[in-house]
Amino acid sequence: MKELFIKETITYDGTQLSSHWAYRNFGMQGDSVVSFRGPCRVELTEMVDIKDVLSNSPIFSKDMLHFIIEHFDLDLEKTIVRQRLLIAILKDIIIGKSGAALSRSGDDLFFHDRKLTVSIATLTPVSTMIHTGVNVTGEDAPVPAIGLAEIGLKPGEIEAVGKSLCSEYIKEYQQIKMARCKVRGVK
């Protein structure tokens, strides 16, 4: 699995959730995790979360740390489990850097009932994908939100969260793959 942290600002608009996005844009063929920082503006026409579409809840943030993950298998349930693992790892990293008392509900992180993240897992014709966005600031969000800066992370620490999450997710993924190879089958 490959990882990349992009220093340039990219606006996440939902079109990044398309098969081979990392390959087409950054030459990363195969399973990958890409992180970048930038605004988030997902119109209803690009949303894959039907619940949000039905409730007319577009996603917006002035500044987020984004993660796009692609796995080349077609098991959406497994990818949702991977998504929950990603969020659990993210929670550990942020608590380690800030000491903030975060809580997790499903695929979202909160700080005192203010939303810190958005996340979705979906299926393409050839792969499964995850997008997770972490607010850098909660300012002007359409829901009560908070950002990494507001819980005490400095600019350099925000990039470090991105890089740490990419490497820790890959480490867990590789350890899971190796765990399959060390056990004897039973009858």
In the structure encoding, which two tokens stand for residue 129, read together?
């994908």
pLDDT tens track for 105-132 = 999 999 999 999 999 999 999 999 999 9
The pTM is what?
0.93
For the stretch 158-183, pLDDT in tens is 999 999 999 999 999 999 999 999 99
Q: Which helix (H) or strand (E) holds 132?
A: strand 128-135
Which residues does 78 contact at the CB level (< 8 Å), separation at least 6? Answer: 128
pLDDT (mean) for 139-145: 87
**Considering only CA atoms, which of 80, 61, 54 is closest in space to residue 133?**
61
Rounded Cα distance, 177 and 140, in Å = 41
Distance CA 74, CA 177 (A): 17
Domains of the chain by range and CATH?
2-180 (3.30.930.10)
